[in-house]
Structure 1
Amino acid sequence: MLLPARTLRFCVATAAAAIAVTVGLTGCGSDDDSGSATGTTATASTTTAASATTGSGQAAGATPSVEELQTTLAILSDPAKTTQDKVAIVVDGEKRATNIESMTKALAGYGTLKFVVSDVKVTGDTATAQVVISSPNGDAPPMPLTWQQVGGKWKLSDASTCVLLGFAQAPCTP
């Protein structure tokens, strides 16, 4: 189910403003480097759905676990992960490698980002979930993000990746 364009624009605009303020405040932190966090943690809940199994053993339209979706977000935002690690969890990730490198540099020394994923809904090979991003400077409002099942793995969609890259001041170009 797609959200009406007006609602989606409002959610994205609100989330973008919150993240822009959060990322913009990065330089306002302490110079104490004794406790900088580079890991990412996540907690959440999900809904489940029954699905048929294909001949390859993969569940067609199987609902991904919250942990699986959160792991993609954790990898993408973890400054300790390589660009190749991040490219691997994004649909068509190679075309976003430069943006991902810019985001990684922006997040280095920033602190831990946390993701709360909820209300996972699957339509075919696409999963949509509500995601709240928590940073050292506060929480962004919930926003819908999408993942696509590619080769039996759930990868963050290009559109959702571009939203997150934009928040980190590494926007995608057409």
Structure 2
Amino acid sequence: MSSSSAVAASTSGSAAPATAPTPETLQAVLVKLSDPAVPTADKAKLIVNGEKRTANIDQMNKGLAGYTLTYAVSDVTVQGNTATAQVTINSPHGAAPAMPITWENVDGTWKLSDTSGCLLLGFAQAPCVPA
């Protein structure tokens, strides 16, 4: 908790880069996405183009009922408006190896990229094909 990941702003791009999100900010997106009590419409706002994924989210919600997932997010890096972090998913069956997950800053909000959203939906038995 006491260590914070500071990412230096790069001035090499033509647009100002997004402010680096904290691991906790990114983790909160994942926790909300996997909470079966959160309505599909709210979850769709967590993924870039999430409105195209509502049927997958509905399927995931059914599959996650009574099933708790937790996440560990680390090594956040930002390039332009894209953040990448290493994410470990812990389920009642154990932990999955850390994997890179990406978020995109859309109007000041960090949303899961469509590709990462589909990856996570696939793990929850609700696969989709990224656009």
The TM-score with structure 2 as length reference comes to 0.88
Instruction: Please list, as runs of the form range in 1=range in 2, the aligned pairs for 1:1-174 lying within 5 A after superposition.
Output: 47-51=5-9, 60-110=17-67, 112-173=68-129
Taking the aligned partners of 2:74 and 2:20, their CA distance within structure 1 comes to 12
Q: What is the count of residue pairs matched by the alignment?
A: 125
Instruction: Kindly state the Cα deviation for residue 46 of structure 1 after the two structures are TM-superposed.
Output: 5.5
The TM-score with structure 1 as length reference comes to 0.67
| 1:90 match: secondary structure | coil
Instruction: Kindly state the Cα deviation for residue 61 of structure 1 after the two structures are TM-superposed.
Output: 2.6
Larger radius of gyration: 1
Pair 1:165–1:46, CA change in 2 (3 A) = farther
* Amino acid of the structure 1 residue aligned with 2:23: V
Render the CA deviation track for 1:35-91: whole Å, top value 9, x for unaligned: xxxxxxxx8x65211337xxxxxx733110111100110011000100011011111
Name which structure has the greater RCO, CA cutoff 8 Å, separation 6+: 1
- 1:50, 1:62 within 8 Å by CA — same for their partners in 2? no
| 2:111 match: secondary structure | strand
Taking the aligned partners of 1:134 and 1:126, their CA distance within structure 2 comes to 24
Taking the aligned partners of 2:86 and 2:98, their CA distance within structure 1 comes to 6
Taking the aligned partners of 1:63 and 1:129, their CA distance within structure 2 comes to 11
User: Tell me, which stretches of 5 or more residues in structure 2 are unaligned?
Assistant: 11-15
Taking the aligned partners of 1:66 and 1:94, their CA distance within structure 2 comes to 25
Q: CA RMSD in A?
A: 1.9
User: Tell me, which stretches of 5 or more residues in structure 1 are unaligned?
Assistant: 1-42, 53-58
Write out the 4+ residue segments of structure 1 that deviate beyond 6 Å after TM superposition: none
Instruction: Kindly state the Cα deviation for residue 169 of structure 1 after the two structures are TM-superposed.
Output: 1.0
Taking the aligned partners of 1:139 and 1:173, their CA distance within structure 2 comes to 25
- 1:130, 1:145 within 8 Å by CA — same for their partners in 2? yes
Once the two structures are aligned, what percentage of the paired residues are identical?
58
